[in-house]
Amino acid sequence: MDQQRFKQLWARSAMDGVATAAAAVAHFAVIDRHYHESHRHYHRPAHIAHCLRQFDAARPGMDQPDLVELAIWYHDVVYLCGASDNELQSAELFKAHADGQLSSRAMAIVYDLIMVTIHDQKLPVTLDQEYVVDIDLSSFGLPWEQFLTDSKAVRAEFNHLSDAEFYPGQCRFFDMLLARDNFCFTEFFRQRHELQARENIQRYLQQLSDQGYRTP
């Protein structure tokens, strides 16, 4: 986790005249602590590092890239396995950090950018929301072995569930993603990850179907 990068981002995003260095360091410490929690296997610093690499590549096409980057840092900061409100709690933590530091408009934009990473409940309505969704799911478009490694890491976060409890829900989520006209919302990521992501998901679903976990 790159503290200097976060400090610079926070300074660029804050309102003019607001002293932010100490606050940025304190906020980063909270973020860093959360992402290093022992129950995490996929939603760890490596996921944020991957997202930031994707962000850096796609940044020129964004409307407000600094706000997109803030959403990336915060979108999984609260993560309890099986909880239904992780994104909401992450957005609320961002809002608590940003209160008095960022403008109300910037806060609202980042809040919505975080909330759109629910994926199966909210669809992006702005270009930057499309980028956040594509960045968050971009690991699905990595080579098969890395996709499989990531899938095993996600499974490990739900070790309180049996395979029979976990995999049907995963199948429903993947089926929902495949049902979209495009897996990726932005042209940048369609060119970069669309085909590989669909191939990976279809191959994974076939494996789960062969094992009897995929529901009709």
- The CB density around residue 33, as the number of other CB atoms within 10 Å, is 11
Which tens digit of pLDDT belongs to each residue from 39-94?
999 999 999 999 999 999 999 999 999 999 999 999 999 999 888 899 999 999 99
Q: What's residue 80's pLDDT?
A: 93
Which tens digit of pLDDT belongs to each residue from 170-201?
999 999 999 999 999 999 999 999 999 999 99
Output the pTM of the full model. Answer: 0.94
Q: What's residue 162's pLDDT?
A: 94
Angle between helices 65-74 and 104-115 (to 10 degrees): 50
Pair 128, 67: CB distance under 8 Å: yes
Q: What's residue 149's pLDDT?
A: 97
106: left (phi over 0), alpha (psi -120 to 50) or beta: alpha
Which tens digit of pLDDT belongs to each residue from 117-160?
998 767 899 999 999 999 999 999 999 999 999 999 999 999 99
Q: Residue 215: is its pLDDT beyond 90? A: no
